[in-house]
Structure 1
Amino acid sequence: MALPAAFGSGGLSSSGPSPLEAHLKRGGSLESIHRVHAVVCDHRGRILMRAGRADYETFIRSALKPFQAMPLLSSGAAEQFNCGERGLAISCASHAGTPNHAREAFRLLWNAELDANQLQCPVPEGASSPLEHNCSGKHAAFLATCRKMGWPTESYLQGDHPIQVEIHRRVAELLGLPSAEMVAARDDCGAPTLRLQLAQMALLYAHLGASTRTELEQISRAMLAHPDLVAGEGRFDTELMRRSHSQVLSKGGAEGVQCLSRMGEGLGVAIKVEDGSRRAKQAVALHLLRQLDWLTPTGLEELEEQVLIISPGVQLEVEGSLRFQEG
């Protein structure tokens, strides 16, 4: 999938700034190295800074969720079923499956006169209901939208279902691409996710922070107002958004994907760890937040203490930095 012209030819080259590296050291000796690519884009699609390849392709995984929630708003389902900001937040969540999280997903279904047994996300091991799955809010939003539009609810995860077609159309529109060029595959929860270039992910999150599109502004406002619903107590996305004072939106995905938005400035960051390490993506996110000056030193220190918990004598250090895009 080629980048649109707005990205500039510099984003396509495999030469240029080296990837970042997260080094795990034990007792002062190097034990593991994680290679990491990162890109900063504005909402016009211009690559401003990068480390590694802007055209690195991978699946966006759960970082797609804010955009998968768009049809809930555009269809009128959110208004008709009294979704509110909490319902929007849980629709974008990769939550911890707590009773509070399950309750919010259930409320969205209840208001749309739907039942939890219509959810097609798996029942987590040791759980009793699909409401406890970390993607239950997204699935509930899919079903509520289908109810509003009169679309089939039994096949809502199929790639050719109207809601999935609409999601892909809306994402393609944000990226300035034909919808037919979108490459999808099944995520672990059963819903389609998209294979994108890192610069495209950063552009999506730049749109999320630009406040130029009503639906995306509603979604970002809901996530920032209820960060506890987006992930959970002690989890990276929740704790970062809390400490940013609603200035930085954070949403991760599996296999080392992390995306950030700078609210009001229309800037997006996308991070990908080649080996899929979660600890490395979080360490790199904090490293870049420090470089970009998007979080206070106190906030960064608190986050590092809370989310980068490593055994005594073990350190995770990030080498390298973002470089300004040339040309």
Structure 2
Amino acid sequence: MAKRHHTHAIEVQLLREGIVESKHQVQAVVCDRRGRVLSAAGNPEFGSFIRSALKPFQALAVTSTGVIERYNLSDRDLAIMCSSHQGTIEQARQVFRILWQCAIEPDQLQCPTPAGKRSPLEHNCSGKHAGMLAVCQQRQWPLTTYLKRNHPVQSLILGKVAELLHMPPDEFIGARDDCGAPTYFMQLNQMASLFGQLASGDNLDMERIVRAMTHYPELVAGEGHFDTEVMRLSQGELVSKSGSEGIQCIGRIGQGMGLAIKVADGAKRAKYAVAIQLIRQLGWLEPEIADTLAERFCILSDFKRLTVEGELAML
């Protein structure tokens, strides 16, 4: 985009007893399902890896191939496939159920076993990995190499994302996420467009993913965590998915609008503060719900709080 389309980035300040202690710079953009930029703060074409915000689109490999019907999987199973969960007993058991239904052993999971845990089932990406393995089992593709970028399941996922963004698959820059699966480098407007399409209701496969995430938000993150609380408090009006290194994406269900946020230094606390500020500005939540979220994620203690300077500008 030309420089005249760039707007001021957002700044998040950490105040300790009213005195600025730290600052974070944040870029954000809102797009519709057709990829048109509606408003932005900073550069809409700012690039970053989408990280775990890709998970709802990786789950398209499951919803579009008959895997759910073949193995009698549920919306709870689909929700955990889209999750960055906390490794609770309930969440790990949900991942195990997917593998059980597909006759796959847990040791086929190639995500790491988290420090202090006993099984890869407890890794926050285990649901995503179980979904990939389920597709491999149904298609009779190799299970041992499912994380390689040239594996059929990864080609299937990339093809789905490329189709949504109207790009050739070979134009995407990929890298390994921390769990070993591929993730992709994208512009913020592309991330926002993906979530606009996810939330539009125009695609039955994505609509099922949204329904699973919003009906079972406790599986998508966990009690007290941002994605879970946003989806629970919005009562099905927003679909939310975080990614590491300061990525946050939110879709306005039924309106086909997506919001993508990137914190330059990767701070988790800053992306939540900005997300709350921007969904308030956009009118996507009732003010009292936004206030509740702000109390949980912006007031860090009796003497520490986050403040947001800046807002989205129309382009």
TM-score normalised by structure 2 residue count: 0.98
Q: Is the 8 A contact 2:68 2:74 kept in 1?
A: yes
Q: Is the 8 A contact 2:6 2:44 kept in 1?
A: no
Q: Which residue of 2 aligns with 1:156?
A: 146
Q: Is the 8 A contact 2:246 2:266 kept in 1?
A: yes
Instruction: State the 1:309 CA deviation.
Output: 4.4
Q: Which residue of 2 aligns with 1:46?
A: 36
Q: Does 1:193 align with 2:186?
A: no
Distance 1:250 1:143, change over 3 A: same
Q: Which residue of 1 aligns with 2:237?
A: 247
Paired residue type of 1:225: H
Q: Does 1:66 align with 2:62?
A: no
Stretches of structure 1 lacking an aligned partner (at least 5 in a row): 1-10
Q: Does 1:95 align with 2:85?
A: yes
Structure 1 Cα separation of the partners of residues 298 and 313 of structure 2: 25
Structure 1 Cα separation of the partners of residues 81 and 27 of structure 2: 28
Structure 2 Cα separation of the partners of residues 12 and 311 of structure 1: 42
Q: Which residue of 1 aligns with 2:294?
A: 304
Stretches of structure 2 lacking an aligned partner (at least 5 in a row): none
Q: Which residue of 1 aligns with 2:137?
A: 147
Mapping 1:109-188, distance limit 5 Å: 109-188=99-178
Distance 1:167 1:14, change over 3 A: farther
> Cα RMSD over matched residues?
1.0
Q: Does 1:289 align with 2:282?
A: no
Deviations 1:300-321 (A, max 9, x none): 1221222334132222100001
Instruction: State the 1:27 CA deviation.
Output: 2.0
Instruction: State the 1:16 CA deviation.
Output: 2.6
Distance 1:136 1:14, change over 3 A: farther
Paired residue type of 1:125: A
Mapping 1:216-255, distance limit 5 Å: 216-255=206-245
Q: Which residue of 2 aligns with 1:8?
A: none
Deviations 1:101-140 (A, max 9, x none): 0011000000000011000000001100000000000000
Identity of aligned residues (%): 51
What stretches of structure 1 move > 6 A for 4+ residues in a row? none
Secondary structure at 1:120 match in 2: coil
Structure 2 Cα separation of the partners of residues 108 and 295 of structure 1: 34
Structure 1 Cα separation of the partners of residues 144 and 2 of structure 2: 41
Structure 2 Cα separation of the partners of residues 73 and 314 of structure 1: 44
Q: Is the 8 A contact 1:73 1:79 kept in 2?
A: no
TM-score normalised by structure 1 residue count: 0.95
Aligned partner (choices 7, 10, 13) of residue 20 of structure 1 = 10
Instruction: State the 1:82 CA deviation.
Output: 1.1
Secondary structure at 1:184 match in 2: strand
Q: Is the 8 A contact 1:50 1:323 kept in 2?
A: yes
Mapping 1:304-323, distance limit 5 Å: 304-323=294-313
Aligned partner (choices 61, 66, 75) of residue 76 of structure 1 = 66
Q: Is the 8 A contact 1:209 1:267 kept in 2?
A: yes
Secondary structure at 1:48 match in 2: strand
Count of paired positions: 315
Q: Does 1:275 align with 2:253?
A: no
**Which 10-residue stretch deviates more, 19-28 or 302-311?**
302-311
Secondary structure at 2:305 match in 1: strand
